Amino acid sequence: MIASSAETSHPYQSRHSGVMLARGLKEKSQNYKKLLTVVLQWTGAQPFLTQKLCQLIIEADDSPPLGEESQWVAKLVRSRLVENWEQLDDLEQLRTIRDRLLRRKQRSLKLLKLYQRILQEKAVVANETSEQKELQLLGLVVKQQSQLKAHNRIYKSIFNQTWVENALKTVQSELEPTDSEFLKTLAELERKLLVSQVEILSKADNEVEEQGSVQALYEVMRDVTSKVGDLLSADRATIFLLNDERTELWSLVAENQEGEFLDIQVQVGEGIAGQVALMKKVIHISENVYDDPRSELVKEYDKKYNYRTENILALPLLNENKEVVAVIQLLNKLHSPISQKDDSQQKGFTKVDLERLAQCVVPIRRILESCQSCYKATKKLRATAALAEATRSLDQINLDTKAILQRVMNTAKKLMNADRSTLWLVDRDRSDLWTELPGRGEVRCEFGVGFVGQVAQTCEPMIIPFDLYEHPSAENAKKTDEDTRYRTCSLLCMPVVNPEGDLLGVTQLVNKRKPGEHPEYNKDDWPVVPDYFKASFDKNDRQAMQVFNERVGVVLQFVKTHEKLKQLAQIEPKEAIYNALAILSDTIDNQTDEALYNALYYMLGFIKLSVGQLLGAAHTTVFLFDGEHNEFWSLFIEEEASSAVEIRVPANRGIASKIVASKTPKVSNNLGNFNDFLLQAGIKEDARNSFDNLLLFPVVNQQGYLIAIFRFFNKLKLSSISSASSSERIDPKGFTQVDGDKLEQRSSSILPVLQAFQSFHREIQTIQEQRGAIDPLYQAISLVSQSTGNPEEIIQKVMQGAKSLTNADRSTLWLVDYQNNELWTKIPQADGSWIETRVPMGEGFSGKVAKTAQPVNIPFDLYEHPDSEIAKKTDEKTHYRTCSLLCMPVLSSDGDLLAVTQLVNKRKLGDFGEYDPADWPVVPDYFQASFNEKDQKDMEIFNNQVGVVLPSIL
């Protein structure tokens, strides 16, 4: 309760005042006890009000007639308190209640609505919410017998229903966003989304956090949708995105009253949103929505989610090519409590709402396109995580084809959110496909028969959206469904090939399920289609399964050669392959270069050990051929090192070129001359004298192409004792024709394994290339995110990241010093020291960006810009030539300016040297370039991440 001056006075003064007031009431009326009762009825015993009302009674010119005390006091309260309380100096306590009730607009809405409800209903159940507690602290309400009631009649008379309604109207009008605020809100949402994307993708790259990354994307989209709804005063808002096939609208976000995610998918042309997407026109139904013939889906969803749509506004978002990107659907325009009483109030959404939304289409579209791109990237990363789970499971089971196909396809089913999945394998002997189905055993399918057979025959993927029964080739599926009492609604069939492109099988995914918890299909419901089957596989699913199937092909290739590998040596091959695959699965989960090469190294180690023991060789190395670069490569781990290193040998020089030309083995029992690339590779100089004999054996495929060369050093005696010295164990006869024959006999078994290694090595290179092409933006942001908090380090990393990201010649990070109204930075010197430099706010290009918080992008040639005088003078002093410039603000999460990034001189692509001051003022050709829109967009995202890091040093 707010304390008055009387309440905070000295206890003696309070008692003295009370005595004086009691004496005054006695003098004022013979029936003073009745008078005091009436006072307390008005004040509710609130100290300040009680004292104030008693004082007004005592000071009144007349006295209350006997028996009319209540009416007399009521008249006094209205004239001396209620009617002019805001103008009376001694009623500061009432104005304080008013001010605290209205000082925070969003909070005020909740407090006013709660207080309004208490006035209307006389009392509400006390539940200790923060709003109830705050009203009690203000003194407006009091808790009595587990109920909240207005504290007294004076408060009810002053802060009455009319006052509350006017206050609500004022607060709501102040909260109503202006167009500029609307755009600012969207800009903030876009900025937050761009920052979130890095976090989302970084989480999605980690299987443990993958589910959290999807949830994070849901939260971003929910925030965007919620803001659009709030800004246009819609009770509900939904944003539908168009799938890649342009056949279906789908919503990541649509909330019910409990805040749960609702899955909504709509075919283009169906319902209000579907009609908007098809016709590319706005639909506004201001009232009687259910009477509109297009509202069947609206009624269906309203019934499902216990809602009633009174009015609706739906409009398309188009890209530059006038193609639909998304549809925004708003339900039930909300009006203020005051305007709701006005019968003349326009029903539904207004022209202003439509105009406001239309002018913000571009930023909204950018946000949605970013969300969709992020969603696609997340799905691709989830495919990798799913494969990691599948390959990890291989070390828990026997390398049995049937067990593996079950494990792998269970993962594919989970990945694609499919209801059923099958992996059909090719049987070359019978020229058909086979699989095993639970409860049915082995099932076969002829090439060319059914969807699976067609995919096997053409080796082309097949995707059939809902409803598959409308497909011209659906008869076979219908007959099967009738026999099994199952309903096939959508399908995705993809070929599985080995690294050489040969068909190994077909993956078949049936019935895309809508997201959410749904029961298993009930055979008794056949042929009715459950709502959760009314979905389709899309282009993203097909791309993810293509990546998935490529990995499945590698796994199946290993399985095919497993039994043959057992014959290579008397070691424990099963355990070795298990270890290799386990390492491979770990690699897929953590695709660093180190992990990838280590995985391949240990797999190569198994084949080297097997073949080396077969021949009895002391030292074995396998060099695989890279035809694209005309080189042989192998992997080695040096002593005290933990990571494998790739070594390459030119295929067109020395002994390697002779083997490439002849494709025949080379044997030598005299290794006096070790001066050859193929012989030296991976061998330390001090170990070369320990080798006495050599066998170089080429492995060639069926087409006569060279795949690899095995290098064997030191043939060992068959009866050599392990405790004997190395020289005593070496067979002086060296390698013979018998050794070559052994390898020749087993080359057909070795060949697929080596080809699999080649395939995996190419995959490593592909991953490296993808990392190089993955938007340098990600690398730049990662660089900044790894900063330790040291100012110099952060400045240096930001400058380095920005330069690499945009291919700029120079970069500077200017930090804001608000106290001195300056920008400052530190510039590294040749001796390792740092020099601090400062620029006044508003001076130069960076200073102007700091003052306006708006980017500046000046193309080549900057000297032609009207504000280039300062740059020219600086260049004259430093003998540097400024040709183009990009300056961008760095903002905090709250939108406060933290810094300015300044990029100078966009460089043309190519290997050019540093600028030579001796050439000044001549402009080199590689400086005749300009920063483009992509550079500016990338720097905006980059600066958002910088804005997250900078507060730690400011």
pLDDT for residue 954: 58
pLDDT in tens, 403-425: 666 777 787 788 788 999 999 99
**878 plus 810 within the same structural domain:** yes
Which of helix, strand or coil describes residue 441? strand
Of 557, 583, 613, the position where a domain reaches its end is: 557
Residue 66: the pLDDT is 86
Q: Check residue 512 and give its pLDDT.
A: 93
pLDDT score at 631? 93
Please name the amino acid found at residue 514.
Answer: K
- Residue 574, in any domain of the structure: no
Sheet with 264-267: list strands edge to edge.
264-267, 248-251, 234-242, 324-333, 312-318, 283-285
What pLDDT was estimated at residue 263?
55
Residue 23 in domain: yes
Residue 543 has pLDDT above 50, yes or no: yes
Residue 620 sits in the same domain as residue 762: yes
Kind of pairing between the strands at 147-150 and 124-125:
antiparallel
Quick one: pLDDT at residue 63? Answer: 86
Share of the chain above pLDDT 90, in %: 21
CA–CA separation, 124 and 309 (whole Å) = 29
CA distance 868 to 872: 6
- Angle at the Cα of 813 from the Cα atoms of 811 and 814, rounded to 5 degrees: 130
Distance of CA 255 to the CA centre of its chain: 20
How far is it, in rounded angstroms, from Cα 151 to Cα 42?
10
Q: Angle at Cα 499 formed by Cα 496 and Cα 501, nearest 5°?
A: 60
Q: Given this model, what pLDDT does residue 698 score?
A: 95
Is residue 150 situated within a structural domain?
A: yes
Euclidean distance between CA atoms 467 and 528, whole angstroms? 12
Asked whether 699 and 707 are in contact (CB, 8 A), the reply is: yes
3-class state of residue 888 by DSSP: strand
Worst-scoring range by mean pLDDT, 118-122, 579-583, 785-789, 870-874?
579-583
Query: Using CA of residue 77, residue 79, residue 84, residue 87, what is the dihedral sign?
Result: negative
d(CA 223, CA 787): 29
Q: Please report, for the domain that includes residue 212, its CATH number.
A: 3.30.450.40
Report residue 303 as tokens: 């019934």
The pLDDT value recorded for residue 365 is 80
| 799, 938: one domain | yes
The whole-angstrom separation of Cα 912 and Cα 341 is: 73
Determine contact, residues 883/860, Cβ cutoff 8 Å.
Answer: yes
Close Cβ partners of 798 (under 8 Å, ≥ 6 residues apart)? 784, 811, 813, 901, 946
- 798 and 762 fall within a common domain: no
**pLDDT grade, residue 865 (50/70/90)?**
very high
CA distances for 577 relative to 548, 562, 582, angstroms: 21, 8, 8
- 245 and 96, same domain (yes or no): no
Domain count, the chain: 5
> What average pLDDT does this structure show over 298-306?
83
Residue 196 structure tokens: 């979130």
Helix spans in 527-592 (H): 539-565, 573-589
Per DSSP, helices labelled H in 436-500 are 450-458, 475-484
Out of 145, 174, 203, pick the residue that ends a domain. Answer: 174
Name the band, by pLDDT with cuts 50, 70 and 90, for residue 768. Answer: low
C-alpha to C-alpha distance for 616 and 207, rounded to whole angstroms: 43
Report the alpha-carbon distance of residue 282 to residue 15 in Å, rounded: 72
What is the rounded CA–CA span in Å between residue 859 and residue 905? 9
Confidence at residue 352, expressed as pLDDT on a 0 to 100 scale: 79
How crowded is residue 947: how many other Cβ atoms within 10 Å of its Cβ?
Answer: 22
- Taken in order 107, 257, 229, 514, the sign of the CA dihedral is positive
Reference 254, options 224, 282, 285; nearest CA is: 224
CA angle 919, 921, 923 (to 5 degrees): 80
Buried-state track 723-742, b at ≥16 Cβ within 10 A, e below 16: eeeeeebbbeebbeeebbee
Worst-scoring range by mean pLDDT, 140-149, 332-341, 866-875? 332-341
621, 668: one domain: yes
Residue 608 placed within a domain: yes
> Quick one: pLDDT at residue 31?
83
User: Are the beta carbons of 907 and 887 closer than 8 angstroms?
Assistant: no
Q: Please choose, from the candidates 555, 251, 513, 158, the residue with its C-alpha nearest in 3D space to the C-alpha of residue 395.
A: 555
Q: State pLDDT tens for residues 470-528.
A: 999 888 889 989 988 999 999 999 998 875 678 989 999 999 998 778 889 999 999 89
pLDDT at residue 822, as a whole number: 92
Q: Residue 695: give the domain boundaries.
A: 591-771
**Amino acid 540: pLDDT:** 72
Closest CA to 332 of 231, 233, 221, 240: 233
pLDDT at 944 over 90: no
Same domain for 25 and 135? Answer: yes
CA–CA distance, 941 with 778 (Å, rounded to integer): 10
C-alpha distances (whole Å) from 246 to each of 250, 278, 285, 676 are 11, 10, 25, 60
DSSP letter, residue 855: -
Mean pLDDT lowest among 538-547, 736-745, 860-869: 538-547
Task: Read off the pLDDT band of 649 (50, 70, 90).
Answer: very high
Give the model's pLDDT for residue 340.
Answer: 46
pTM for this structure?
Answer: 0.39
> pLDDT grade, residue 360 (50/70/90)?
confident
The answer to whether residue 567 is domain-embedded is no
Alpha-carbon distance of 21 to 50, in angstroms, equals 10
- Structure tokens that stand for 885 in this block: 């410039």
Assess if residue 299 is contained within a domain. Answer: yes
- The upper half-sphere exposure of residue 938, i.e. CA atoms within 13 Å in the direction of its Cβ, equals 23
Q: What is the mean pLDDT of residues 231-254?
A: 77
Residues 789 and 753 in one domain: no
pLDDT greater than 90 at residue 381: no
Residue whose structure tokens are 């792998």: 408
> Smallest Cα–Cα separation from 197: which of 371, 353, 326?
371
What is the phi/psi pair of residue 900, to 5°?
A: -135, 130
Query: Judging by DSSP bridges, how do beta strands 324-333 and 234-242 pair with one another?
Result: antiparallel
Highest mean pLDDT among 206-215, 228-237, 941-950: 228-237
Do 545 and 608 fall within a single domain? no
Residue 583 lies in a domain: no
For residue 897, what is the DSSP state? E
Does the pLDDT value for residue 930 go beyond 90? Answer: yes
Asked whether residue 234 carries a pLDDT value surpassing 60, the answer given is yes
Alpha-carbon radius of gyration of the chain: 40
* Pairing of β 706-715 and β 617-626: antiparallel
CA separation for the pair 643, 601 (Å, rounded) = 9
Mean pLDDT of 789-816: 83
Catalogue the long-range contacts made by 399-407 (C-beta closer than 8 Å, 24 or more residues apart). Answer: 399/558, 399/559, 399/562, 399/574, 399/577, 399/578, 401/425, 401/556, 401/559, 402/436, 404/555, 404/556, 404/559, 405/435, 405/436, 405/505, 406/436
pLDDT value of position 489: 93
- What's the whole-number average pLDDT of the chain? 79
For residue 250, is pLDDT > 80? no
How crowded is residue 509: how many other Cβ atoms within 10 Å of its Cβ? 25
Structure tokens at 297: 């889906």
Is the four-CA dihedral 613, 618, 619, 624 of positive or negative sign? Answer: negative
| Residue 374 forms part of a structural domain | yes
Residues 791 and 732 in one domain: no
Are 235 and 127 found together in one domain?
A: no
How many whole angstroms from its chain centre is CA 899? 26
Last residue of a domain, one of 325, 346, 378: 378
User: Does residue 790 sit in the same domain as residue 926?
Assistant: yes
For the record, the structure tokens of 228 come out as 């659009």
Strands laid side by side in the 147-150 sheet:
124-125, 147-150, 141-144
